[in-house]
Amino acid sequence: MLANNLSLNFVELGLFCAYLAMLLALLQGLAPIAAHYLGKPRLAQLSVNASVAVFGLTTFGGLSLIHAFVTSNFSVEYVAAHSNSLLPVFYKVAALWGGHEGSLYLWVWVLTLYTMIVGWHGRKQYPEHLPSILAVQGWLMVGFFGLILFLSSPFTRLFPSPADGNDLNPLLQDPGMVIHPPMLYLGYVGFSVPFAFAMTALITRWRSELWVGLIRRWALIAWGFLTTGVMLGGWWAYYELGWGGYWAWDPVENASFMPWLLGTALVHSITVQDRRRMLHTWNIFLVISTFSLSLLGTFLVRSGVLSSVHAFAVDPGRGAYILSFMVIVLTVSFGIFMAKGRYQQAEETITSMLSRESLFVWNNVLFTVACATVLLGTLYPLALDALSGQKITVAAPYFNAVMVPLFLVIILLMAVGPLVPWRKSNVERLRKRLLLPLTLGVSVAALMFVFLRSVHWTGPVAVGLALFALANLVADYLRAVRQRRLQLSKESMGRACLKTVLGNRRHYGGMIVHFGIVIITLGLVGSGLFRSEETVVMAPGDVMEVAGEQLRFEGVSNRRGENYTAIQARLTLLNSGRIVIPEKRRYMRQEMPMTESSIDSTLLRDVYAVLAESGGGDKWAVHVYVNPLVNFIWTGGIIILSGLFLSLTSRRARDVKATASVMEPAK
């Protein structure tokens, strides 16, 4: 009884802390405004102190909810809806973000974390602008706390409490989905930091050359988390949903892909502004748009307007609140941008169409067009349904028809861009550098056209462009190593290779990211255009063959998990002697059937087995896919993240604070 009372009091204390956190977030947003109008600058420092307190209070509230899950406190309505006494502890903790209310709490929890880190980092780096930055984030927190506490509270109580809970959605009882949402949120919310900097810069006329370098790392960190979230989502869909694919252009998938596209444009565009003092207003537009799309993703997933395995259906009132909040953020931010953006003027212009900055601009245009394409395909069916009641589906054929050509052009720019110098290129030198890689790429594409005539034209073109890009990356690196060895003749080859990378981490980090994109491209071509599949009803001892892989069906057996029962099939791959064990599960509490695939992986292919329906007696339908090069996609994602990490370890020879002390702010 005492333990139960302590658990109940812990939840109530968590709710109180959440209310107090909202009040302090409001103080954080109001303090700089009051300081400005009252002429008391010291008041603005309340924002800095409040940011730490808000994070502490929000953390206590989150821990109280996790405690309620772990102790199976079903008097909390959210716990009763998304947990069960049989649920493993690992998933009880992750159940915090397994539904609408808890996932929103995680959203604001991550926002308070970022805000506290910005406050800690900015005390010495940009103290005069820090209160305004924190104020912007404070108002964002107020908006989300308002939704959580008054419309979507995870602290709501049930009296009397049920004896047991409904259990977590079986689709979410998977390690991939435990990690996937926090990674996405760290990406989504991470873009709030560049957004706060941009709003502060517009309002205070902070010179862009002084603040753009400060947001580069924040943008890269947010982009890295978002990339991780998107890759994990594809990986989860691949092995969990049992359809042999990893990306279906689902609207909720698109909701995370859109800010990724504009975020990619942003991290490229920041480089141009940092190096050439160009694209000032364009970068602010990208910052606002990227964060706005992060809010749109939250609206699409949490409002109930979409039906998806990823979405949480809720009542219209909550969706209306999120939509209203998003509209307010868009209106205010773009209004400030329109009114103040003219003070963020570029100091230089493009002097040649064949220059690195010019190619960066085209790169940004392509990513923006790609984002607009996905946005149109995602929102058009919703708008048509709302206006006319007509229901349509915009599916993969539309997205593939538009996005694949855009992606191919982006790869071409990615291949050429790093070789083109800033300001103006020497055409003859560029031609010599491109000749051999271009010959390689065209030759491979031509051979594929000749010997694989049944393959769609995009396959040979994509492979040719990927190899063209790869050859350019290798050639560029080898030239740098050779130049270093000419200067340091006594240095060994291995040391020269390592020191070349470490000596310019920002550049070679980007090149490693590009290498990861090349690997992913090959994976997309292999798994998308060369996949084989077969469905066969099999009895024990039967053998099926798919794309040269032979599988013998050994039969089925029963298995019991912690909160489910399963029928488990066993198939032997005769080519290698390895075993795959697909399952059909039934979760006890929800009586929900689930299909669990089993995959035998090598670097060059996956054999993907799914146990389908019973064929009567000891016969079962078995669905088998052979996916060539699919692991290149996940390997490419790891390579991208390693390149990003290398880039983040770079140290720029620029002291922003010292620069600020010798430059007067724009009037």
| Residue range 297-323, pLDDT digits in tens | 877 776 655 554 444 445 556 777 888
- pLDDT above 50 (res 128): yes
| Single-letter residue type at 85 | S
User: Considering the domain boundaries, does residue 308 fall inside one?
Assistant: no
Residue range 412-435: mean pLDDT, rounded: 83
Burial of 235 (0-12, 13-18, 19+ CB in 10 A): middle
Task: Give 20-36 pLDDT, tens digit per residue.
Answer: 999 999 999 999 888 87
Domain of 114, in residue numbers: 1-169
Q: 495 and 618 share a domain?
A: no
CB contact at 8 A, 531 and 457: no
Tell me the CA distances in angstroms from 567 to 112, 136, 269, 556, 654, one per residue in order: 45, 53, 53, 7, 62
Backbone angles phi, psi at 555, to 5 degrees: 120, -175
SS3 567: strand
Q: Indicate the residue among 169, 184, 217 that finishes a domain.
A: 169
Task: Give 426-448 pLDDT, tens digit per residue.
Answer: 778 888 888 999 999 999 999 99
Among the ranges given (216-230, 556-570, 597-611), the one the predictor scored with the smallest mean pLDDT? 556-570
d(CA 104, CA 60): 16
Q: 493 and 553 share a domain?
A: no
Per-residue pLDDT at 651: 67
Per-residue pLDDT at 271: 84
- Residue 488 pLDDT grade (very low, low, confident, very high; cuts 50, 70, 90): confident
- pLDDT above 60 (res 343): yes
Instruction: Give the DSSP H/E element, type plus range, for residue 608.
Output: strand 605-616
CB contact at 8 A, 102 and 92: no
**CA-based R_g, the chain, Å:** 27
Pick from 95, 400, 333, 24: nearest CA to 197:
333
Q: Indicate the residue among 467, 499, 530 that finishes a domain.
A: 530
- pLDDT above 70 (res 656): no
Give 621's contacts (C-beta < 8 A, 6+ positions apart).
535, 536, 537, 538, 611, 612, 613, 614, 615
Residue range 616-636: mean pLDDT, rounded: 93
Sign of the torsion formed by the C-alpha atoms of 262, 263, 267 and 270? positive
Among the ranges given (4-18, 245-259, 354-368, 577-591), the one the predictor scored with the smallest mean pLDDT? 4-18
Sign of the torsion formed by the C-alpha atoms of 537, 596, 236 and 523? negative
User: Considering the domain boundaries, does residue 158 fall inside one?
Assistant: yes
- pLDDT above 50 (res 664): no
Per-residue pLDDT at 587: 85
d(CA 201, CA 665): 11
Q: 513 and 536 share a domain?
A: no
Q: 434 and 560 share a domain?
A: no
CB contact at 8 A, 267 and 260: no
Mean pLDDT of the chain: 86
Task: Give 278-302 pLDDT, tens digit per residue.
Answer: 777 888 999 999 999 998 887 777 6
Q: 537 and 525 share a domain?
A: no
| Domains contained in the chain, number | 3
SS3 487: helix
User: Considering the domain boundaries, does residue 296 fall inside one?
Assistant: no
d(CA 533, CA 547): 8
Top-confidence residue, 10 or 64: 64
Q: 12 and 160 share a domain?
A: yes
Buried/exposed 585-601: b ≥16 CB within 10 Å, e otherwise:
bebebbeeebbbbbbbe
User: Considering the domain boundaries, does residue 643 fall inside one?
Assistant: no
Instruction: Give the DSSP H/E element, type plus range, for residue 615.
Output: strand 605-616
- pLDDT above 80 (res 210): no
- Residue 487 pLDDT grade (very low, low, confident, very high; cuts 50, 70, 90): confident
- Residue 213 pLDDT grade (very low, low, confident, very high; cuts 50, 70, 90): confident
Q: 164 and 17 share a domain?
A: yes
- Residue 112 pLDDT grade (very low, low, confident, very high; cuts 50, 70, 90): very high
In this prediction, what percent of the chain has a pLDDT beyond 70?
92
User: Considering the domain boundaries, does residue 199 fall inside one?
Assistant: no
Per-residue pLDDT at 637: 95
- Residue 14 pLDDT grade (very low, low, confident, very high; cuts 50, 70, 90): very high
Burial of 301 (0-12, 13-18, 19+ CB in 10 A): buried
Q: 518 and 550 share a domain?
A: no
Give 138's contacts (C-beta < 8 A, 6+ positions apart).
25, 26, 27, 28, 29, 30, 47, 50, 51, 54, 115
In the chain, what is the straight-line distance between the N-terminal and C-terminal CA atoms, in Å? 67
CB contact at 8 A, 218 and 194: yes
pTM of the model: 0.91
- Residue 45 pLDDT grade (very low, low, confident, very high; cuts 50, 70, 90): confident
- pLDDT above 60 (res 366): yes
CB contact at 8 A, 245 and 237: yes
Residue range 74-92: mean pLDDT, rounded: 90
Q: Indicate the residue among 530, 563, 584 that finishes a domain.
A: 530
- pLDDT above 80 (res 2): no
User: Considering the domain boundaries, does residue 218 fall inside one?
Assistant: no
Q: 526 and 542 share a domain?
A: no
- Residue 666 pLDDT grade (very low, low, confident, very high; cuts 50, 70, 90): very low
User: Considering the domain boundaries, does residue 387 fall inside one?
Assistant: no
How many residues comprise the chain? 667
Q: Using alpha carbons only, what angle is made at residue 148 by residues 300 and 48, rounded to the nearest 5 degrees?
A: 105
Taking each helix axis from N to C end, the angle separating 493-503 and 505-529, rounded to the nearest 10 degrees, works out to 100
Q: 603 and 509 share a domain?
A: no
CB contact at 8 A, 32 and 47: yes
- pLDDT above 70 (res 602): yes
Q: 118 and 54 share a domain?
A: yes
Buried/exposed 110-124: b ≥16 CB within 10 Å, e otherwise:
bbbbbbbebbeebee
Residue range 346-375: mean pLDDT, rounded: 82
Q: 111 and 151 share a domain?
A: yes
User: Considering the domain boundaries, does residue 155 fall inside one?
Assistant: yes
